[in-house]
Chains A and B, each alone.
Chain A
């Protein structure tokens, strides 16, 4: 029984290739109906339920903070660029103004002759004016209120990182964090299922997303408990994941949906919410922002 359990698990993780040769030798011993890959007691059905999952990503809004080597390299690049550059129009004007001032102070330049130029705004004045205008401008902060409160429901947090939508759903008896998912109904393509899943868990027009591509980016298989397997006549479920890009809007949970809670989390934060195997599977198709 213990052996069958491990083999079953192997199947879940898709490592069936090494088992095939083993299967033939055993099949010769017994001609009973057996599972194709594992040699446990006869299984009634090999069917799997099909599901689609959606990985909604909010892409970074602001650039990442440079790390130490990036910063050093940028400083050197800037220095080299400055060294190889020529003086700009403004800098030339500043030098000219300074020379004119010097000449006037020493009396070389007659005030009356240069009258038409004397009340011209100097380049430095222009600079001061621009600096003042710049100082008046207040850029939005890189760290937002949601970051301070650690409000994981807000899309306004961790602006320099990707955010992924996780929902809490009832699976069996426990509540489990996962990507939004749902069963396929006959006649639907897997992508259509993914679209429907999102529609069912979010309030109408609350978010606008675009599902990228027709092909699933990953798959996760899990087996039902034995009792459920017998009852439904299926082994478990295969969840096919699709990636989606958040275009606009805030996610609002639909009150009549299966989900109990939701969160926008970064890739690093997924580990603390998801089951180990699930998290490993999901992280394969979520690219980190920096590595």
Chain B
């Protein structure tokens, strides 16, 4: 037995609350982030990811407070993303208790940020989030929560981000996010095969078989999901037992 595949519940946080939308729209309240984080930790989550989707800059500081509270009670790796624009944003999140920081839009507008942040804090704490959508026969990178096309090819972009120092890639299929029809497996497989670093598959999980497919067909090292856990459909433990029963090594 060796390295386990990871299950990572994702908490989209806005104005201090966990929410979940469909295709990045129609947000529903899912609860208090600290309580939810503790529940997932108890259920055996391997890591937690917080995405700060707060629109107004007024409430941006709330996420630091939430991370501080979670980090003093939950001792598993915490990744935080959303609105990371400069090296100082990375420093603030790490100081609040994040172990990894996820960079999305700013990696596109300022790729040097990835290199600078990895150089200063180490690649192990820099995750680059890639939001991709199928356009013709390839996948294109989108930013600003999926609203803005970049013209960048997602697989080439993934390679470039790893060269600049990304230690892990969070690959979200924009066409799938919130739809519950499963990961975009060819997208995940293409990126996983193209880079040496671990890939987290995200976007579209609706049942436990989707998690298994993400690992076995999509080549993911970790799977990220939100709604199946938030509304009590499945516990993290149930998801892990299901994966184990399908021949995937997990931490139980």
Q: Do A and B bind each other?
A: no
B residues in contact (CB < 8 Å) with A: none
